[in-house]
Amino acid sequence: MAEKILILGGARFHGLQIALSLCNKGKNVYVLNRGNYNSNYDPKIHHLITDRNNQKSLENVFKNHTFDVVIDNNAYNPYQVKTVMELIRNKCKHYIFTSTFAVYFKVSSNHKLLEKEATGIPGESYYPWISKYAMDKFAAERMLVQEYNGLNYTILRLPTVFGEGDFLGKLAYLYYRLKDGGPITLEKEVKSFNIVYVQDLVNIYNAVIENEVCFGRILNIADPKMYDYDEFFYSIYGDLYTPNKIVLIQAERMWEAGYWLPFHWGPVLDTSLSEELLNGVVFTPLANWGRKTLKYELEKFKDMNVNSEFIKRRNIESKLIEKLTVKRENKDV
């Protein structure tokens, strides 16, 4: 049974909440990060202040410690994974790599994507600011599978994560756009999408840790329920949202104009494998956490509507809408 667990990252959002959950279960929890975002951990959590990109510094950490489980939340390329794997090769029972649904390189999909459908080859236009991130994550996955297939690893592909503790304020951003009259531009191609609530995600990591059925697996992790724009917005914003506050625009036109949301909806995922292997893990309905999370974010991001980045995006969005709808009465452009 895992008793000593290291989380690479663990400073913000789900990494921090995983650390707290494991700590509350009596595990000996370590987090490793540069200390830029959090230096005030629970006294029972050991904070290793280290830059993982400094190989010598990382070597010193693993020279002095042996971990049962390593959860790698902030590896973004093959080099970062390889550096860790070389140090824990004979010192770790389970390595969990946090990946992303961005590796599918799809804005949307007309069917639920299986894990094997990620090829690492962009077959269509994709978010220009995410492409390198997605390619590097996929390359890290491939390197892990090809070079360390004798070790116990699990790769988790996550969709966009929502919930209390979100440092991006995704729901608050949308709230202020609705509040100031909108409309909000959204990708026309997206018909449905998966998301995951942070507390459900924490439970999933707990279920994956040293679970032998997950060894050597790549797993799509998401709430299996698919949402569309209307259900998502109604569930969270209630009467503040009406369908006429959305303008659907082809994704490439949005990118060309320099506009994007601070997250992406992504394709729909086939989660049947993870549901089978993690039998018993339940997902919280959006109606149970959406407004609670929004309340948290509005407390944390009280001044978002006067934030320079928010204002910049809003202005770009307004000009885009004006340009693309000036000759159209229909909102679907």
Residues 14 and 84 grouped into a single domain:
yes
Residues 61 and 180 grouped into a single domain:
no
Per-residue confidence (pLDDT) for residue 125, from 0 to 100: 78
Per-residue DSSP letter, 332? B
- In this structure, what token pair is assigned to residue 323? 């340009």
Per-residue confidence (pLDDT) for residue 329, from 0 to 100: 46
Per-residue confidence (pLDDT) for residue 327, from 0 to 100: 42
Per-residue confidence (pLDDT) for residue 38, from 0 to 100: 86
Residues 18 and 147 grouped into a single domain:
yes
**Per the domain annotation, does 15 fall within a domain?**
yes
**Per the domain annotation, does 271 fall within a domain?**
no
Residues 17 and 162 grouped into a single domain:
yes
3-state DSSP assignment of residue 157: strand
Residues 62 and 203 grouped into a single domain:
yes
**Per the domain annotation, does 276 fall within a domain?**
no
Length in residues, the chain: 333
d(CA 30, CA 145): 26
Q: Could you tell me where the beta strands, DSSP code E, fall in 113-221? A: 153-158, 161-162, 184-187, 196-197, 217-220
Domain CATH code at residue 148: 3.40.50.720
d(CA 134, CA 76): 9
Spatial CB neighbours of 62, under 8 Å, sequence gap ≥ 6: 87, 88, 91
3-state DSSP assignment of residue 311: helix
**Per the domain annotation, does 273 fall within a domain?**
no
189-220, pLDDT tens digit by residue?
999 999 999 999 999 999 999 999 999 999 99
Residues 186 and 94 grouped into a single domain:
no
**Per the domain annotation, does 22 fall within a domain?**
yes
Spatial CB neighbours of 243, under 8 Å, sequence gap ≥ 6: 230
**Per the domain annotation, does 278 fall within a domain?**
no
Residues 52 and 9 grouped into a single domain:
yes
Residues 65 and 162 grouped into a single domain:
yes
Residues 182 and 115 grouped into a single domain:
no
d(CA 10, CA 32): 7
Number of domains in the chain: 2
Residues 121 and 197 grouped into a single domain:
yes
Smallest Cα–Cα separation from 7: which of 79, 61, 78, 74? 74
d(CA 74, CA 66): 20
**Per the domain annotation, does 330 fall within a domain?**
no
Lowest mean pLDDT among 132-136, 190-194, 262-266: 262-266
Q: Could you tell me the residue range of the domain that residue 213 belongs to? A: 4-166+193-220
| pLDDT over 80 at 126, yes or no | yes
140-186, pLDDT tens digit by residue?
999 999 999 788 999 999 999 999 999 999 999 999 999 987 788 99
Q: 253, 187 in Cβ contact below 8 A? A: no
Buried b (16+ CB within 10 A) or exposed e, 233-251: bbbbbeeebeeebbbbbeb
Residues 183 and 291 grouped into a single domain:
yes
Kind and range of the H or E run holding 48? strand 46-49
Bigger pLDDT: 62 vs 182: 62
**Per the domain annotation, does 25 fall within a domain?**
yes
Residues 186 and 118 grouped into a single domain:
no
- Is 18 exposed, middle or buried (CB count within 10 Å of its CB: 0-12, 13-18, 19+)? buried
d(CA 140, CA 133): 11
Per-residue confidence (pLDDT) for residue 333, from 0 to 100: 47
Spatial CB neighbours of 256, under 8 Å, sequence gap ≥ 6: none
Per-residue confidence (pLDDT) for residue 32, from 0 to 100: 96
Mean pLDDT across the stretch 224-235?
A: 96
**CA 50 and chain centroid, separation:** 23
